[in-house]
Structure 1
Amino acid sequence: MLKIGSHVSSGGKGLLTSAQEAVTYGSSTFMLYTGAPQNTKRKPIEDFYVEEGKAVIQENAMEDIVVHAPYIINLGSYKDWTYELAVDFLQAEIHRTHYLGVRNIVLHPGAYTDKDAEYGIKRIAEGLNQVLHGVKETDVNIALETMAGKGSEIGRSFEEIAAILDNVADNDRLTVCLDTCHVHDAGYDIVNDLDGVLDRFDKIVGLDRLAVVHLNDSKNPCGAGKDRHAPIGAGYLGFKTIQSVVRHEKLRHLPMILETPWIGETDAPMYEAEIALLRGNAAERFGTDYLEDVAKLESFFTGKEIDHRQFVLDTWELLRTDAKAKKADKREPIERLYAMVAEAGLFPELTEQQINHRLIGWFSGKEIFTAV
C-alpha cells in the first residue's frame, strides 16, 4: 500500500492525538512536530501518550512516521549563540524523536545569512558533526530537506546537499527529504522531466539517501525560488505530476507527506481528498456521489469554457505579473472557482470544505477514475 499521509496540526499535543488526526484523513503515514516549530517550548516527551499512539498507528496499518525539526534551527548561522542553540536544540529533538520510535527527523539545512554559500555549507556540516556525535546512542537519521532557494538558504541544489554530506564524517546517519514544491521552485523540471531529475539526483546525491518525500504543489513557476505551497492540482505542478511522483517505481516505497495549505473561509485541510485521489480510492472513501459531483463540476465549468489546468496557470500568472489585477482580486484559483460554484448554487447541501474537496477532485481530471 502506498504510504501517503500529511503533516498533522496536533503534533505538539502528543503521538496519540497526532495518530488520531492522521486517521481522520485516511493516512497510511504522517509527520508531526514535537512542539511548536517556531519556538523552543516543549512539553515533556513522556506526556505524549506514546504507547497509546503506537497502538493507533498499528491498528490503522500506518508506518514510517516522520518528525520535522523546528524552523528556528539554523546550523548555517555565523552567530555563535544561534549556532549553539541549533546544535543543542536539534540534539534534544533527536532524543525526543528516538523516544517516539521514529527513524527520520526532517531538517531544513540552514541559511548563511550575511556570509556566503561556501561558508554556510561548511558551517552546517560542522554543526551536523557535533549533533551526531552527541546522539550516538539513538538510531534516528537526519533527513536534509531539498530547499526552494529563497534568501540565503542552503540545500537549493543537489550539489549543495552532496557537499554537506561530503563534509560530515558520520554521514551514514544523514538521509534526504525530497520536496516537490521546493525542487520545482529551485529550477528542477519535474513536470516535464521527472526521470531526468531523479537520475541527476542519483548521480549527485544517491537515490539510496532518499527517506521521505514531501508532496506539495507550487504557486510559482519553475525556478522562481519562492517556496509557496498550493493544494494538489491547484498549482504549477498539477495533479498528474504529483501522481507521477507518488507512483514512480523509485519513490513509491517511501513515506509521502502532504504539507498543502488549508483553504477557504473556514480554513480547512484538503488532506483527506488529496490522499484518496492520489491513492486512487476516492469512490471508496467518499462514495459514488463524490464522483458524480465531480462530473457535475466538469459539466458546469465546460459550459463556461473553463479548463482546470489552464485556469490554474492563468490565474497564478495574473497574480504574479499584474500588480493591478492582484490588488483588485487577490483570490487564488480554488477560491475563485469556489465562488462560481457557490454563486450558481450547484451544491446547496454541501459545506465549503466538501465543495473544495470536489474541486480538488476536478483538478485531478480523468485520473480520479484510475486506481493506483
Structure 2
Amino acid sequence: MPRTRAKCTAPPQEPPRFGAHMSIAGGYERAIHAAHAVGFGAVQLFTKNNNQWKAPAITDGHLARFREALEATGIGALVSHASYLINLASPDDSLWGRSIDGMVVEVERCHALGIPDLVVHPGAHMEAGEEAGMDRVAAALDRILERTEACQVTIDLETTAGQGTCLGHRFEHLGGILERVRHPRPLGICADTCHIFAAGYSLDGGEGYDETIRQLEAAVGLHRLRVWHLNDSCRDCGSRVDRHAGIGAGRMGLEPFRRLVNDPRFRHLPMILETPKGTEEGEELDAQNLRTLRQLIAT
C-alpha cells in the first residue's frame, strides 16, 4: 500500500501579550486587578507619583498585596515607566544629578516589586546639541548601572516623537547612546508606534513598515527590543508632535498594527497601550482597543 505522508503543521504561536498603562491610585494591586478586568495579560505602571521626585517607601504590605494580585490574575508581563521629570541628557549639573538619583530610586523600586523592565525617555539636550546630549545620557546610565548592579531590572530607552530638543526621534540617537555606555549590563529599547510615526518613520502596510523595522534593526538591533507601546497618532507622519489616539482612530490607521501584532519577531514582547482612557457607549476605551487588536491577529 502507498505510504501516506504526514502533514507538517507549524506549532501555534502564542498570542501577543497585550497590556495597558494602569493607575496605581489605591495601591499597586489595583493596577493589576484593573488590567485583568479588561482582559489584559500585561501591565505598565508608575512605581511612584509621576509628578514628584519624592518616593514613599514600599512596605512589606505593598509587596504582599501586589504579589497576591499577580498570582490571582495570572498577569505575566510587567513594565514600569520612569517619571517624566527625569532628564538624563540635561546639561544642567543639578538636574542631571537629580535625574540620576531619581533613576536609581526607580530601578530599586522595580527590583523590589519584581518588575523586569523600566522604560525611560532619553531626555532633552536643551540646545547643547545632539552629540553632547548623547554623551550626557550615556554617562548618566553608566552611573545608574554601577549604583544598581544588584538589581535585576533592564532599563529600556524609548523612541520619542522629537518635540523640542528631545533625543530619541532618530533610531541613531538610541544607537549612539548604547555605543557610548561602558557598563557591561545590557540595556533595552522600547518602541512607541505613535512616536516613531510622528518622528517621520513610515509604518504603512507595505514597504514602509519593513523599511522602518530594518532601520531599527540596523541602528540598535532587534535583540534589544523589549517593549512595544501601541498608540495611534492624532498628528501626521513627521509632525514631531506626540499626541496619542486609539488604535485605528488616528492618522496611522489599522494596517501598521495588523503588521505588528502578526510579526513573529515581536509576538513574545509586551505590547502596551498608552491610548486615551475613558468610556464610549458604556464601554471602556481600553476594552475597545484590546478588542480591535485581537481582531487583527491572523487566525
The TM-score normalised by the length of structure 1 is 0.72
Match of 1:279 in 2: 294
Tell me by how many angstroms 1:154 deviates.
0.6
Does the C-alpha gap of structure 1 residues 176 and 262 become closer, same or farther in structure 2, counting only changes over 3 Å? same
Tell me by how many angstroms 1:265 deviates.
9.1
Aligned-partner SS, 1:4: strand
Q: In the comparison of the two structures, how many residue pairs are matched?
A: 283
Paired with 1:164 and 1:226, the residues of 2 have a C-alpha distance of 23
Q: Does 1:183 align with 2:184?
A: no
Report % sequence identity. Answer: 35
Paired with 1:32 and 1:267, the residues of 2 have a C-alpha distance of 25
Bigger relative contact order, structure 1 or 2 (CA pairs below 8 A, ≥6 apart) = 2
What stretches of structure 1 of length at least 5 have no aligned partner?
Answer: 281-366
Q: Does 1:144 align with 2:157?
A: yes
Between 108-117 and 32-41, report the one with greater CA deviation: 32-41
What stretches of structure 2 of length at least 5 have no aligned partner?
Answer: 1-14
Aligned-partner SS, 1:136: coil
- 2:130–2:167 contact (8 Å) kept in structure 1: yes
The TM-score normalised by the length of structure 2 is 0.89
Q: Deviations over 1:132-183 (max 9, x none)?
A: 1100011111000001111000111110000000010125431000000000
Aligned-partner SS, 1:110: coil
Residue among 31, 51, 55 paired with 1:42:
55
AA aligned to 2:81 is H
- 1:24–1:272 contact (8 Å) kept in structure 2: no
Between 55-64 and 17-26, report the one with greater CA deviation: 55-64
Paired with 2:48 and 2:32, the residues of 1 have a C-alpha distance of 15
Does the C-alpha gap of structure 1 residues 23 and 263 become closer, same or farther in structure 2, counting only changes over 3 Å? closer
Tell me by how many angstroms 1:196 deviates.
1.7
Match of 1:228 in 2: 243
AA aligned to 1:5 is G
Structure 1 or 2, whichever has the larger Rg, is 1
Structure 1 segment 9-158 matched on structure 2, within 5 A? 9=23, 11=24, 13-46=26-59, 49-158=62-171
AA aligned to 1:245 is L
Match of 1:162 in 2: 175
Match of 1:7 in 2: 21
Structure 1 segment 168-317 matched on structure 2, within 5 A? 168-170=181-183, 172-191=185-204, 192=206, 193-263=208-278, 269-280=284-295
Paired with 1:278 and 1:257, the residues of 2 have a C-alpha distance of 11
Does the C-alpha gap of structure 1 residues 254 and 75 become closer, same or farther in structure 2, counting only changes over 3 Å? same
Q: What is the Cα-based RMSD across aligned positions, in Å? A: 2.0
Does the C-alpha gap of structure 1 residues 169 and 69 become closer, same or farther in structure 2, counting only changes over 3 Å? same
Paired with 2:67 and 2:152, the residues of 1 have a C-alpha distance of 18
Which one has the bigger helix percentage?
A: 1
